[in-house]
């Protein structure tokens, strides 16, 4: 029997690209609300990669159990998960 663990490598969040979006206006979503100017940082992987692609294309995207329009957000950071990401997200 083949050892699946030996053939698949673990994906670490630290090794994946990160992004931060900033909301241009206050928006209420089914799960929670975002205030004008509030930032949301995340790892760009899977569904969140689709989110960034939709924002760049000017389309709507899934967020917090609802839909958000690309015109309501700005991508303020794309890159590695380092100090620049932490600053853009407002963590430090």
Number of Cβ within a 10 Å radius of residue 21: 27
- Structure-block tokens of residue 75: 């991508």
Query: Is residue 89 predicted with pLDDT exceeding 80?
Result: yes
- 15 secondary structure, DSSP code: G
- What own/partner pairs with CB < 8 Å and gap ≥ 24 does 53-56 have? 55/21
Q: Is-contact 77 88, C-beta < 8 A?
A: yes
Reported as a pLDDT band with limits 50, 70 and 90, residue 6 is low
Higher pLDDT, 2 or 79: 79
Query: Is residue 74 predicted with pLDDT exceeding 90?
Result: yes
Is the backbone of residue 4 left (phi > 0), alpha (psi -120 to 50) or beta? alpha
Residue-wise DSSP of 37-61: T-EEEEE-STHHHHHHHHHHHT-EE
């Amino acid at each position: 029997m083949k050892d699946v663990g030996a053939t698949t490598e673990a994906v670490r969040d630290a090794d994946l690209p990160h992004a931060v979006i900033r909301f241009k206006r206050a928006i209420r979503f089914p799960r929670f609300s975002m205030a004008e100017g509030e930032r949301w940082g995340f790892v760009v992987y899977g569904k969140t990669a689709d989110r960034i692609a939709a924002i760049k294309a000017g389309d709507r995207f899934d967020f917090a159990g609802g839909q958000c329009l690309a015109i309501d957000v700005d991508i303020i950071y794309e890159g590695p998960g380092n100090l620049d990401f932490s600053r853009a997200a407002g963590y430090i």
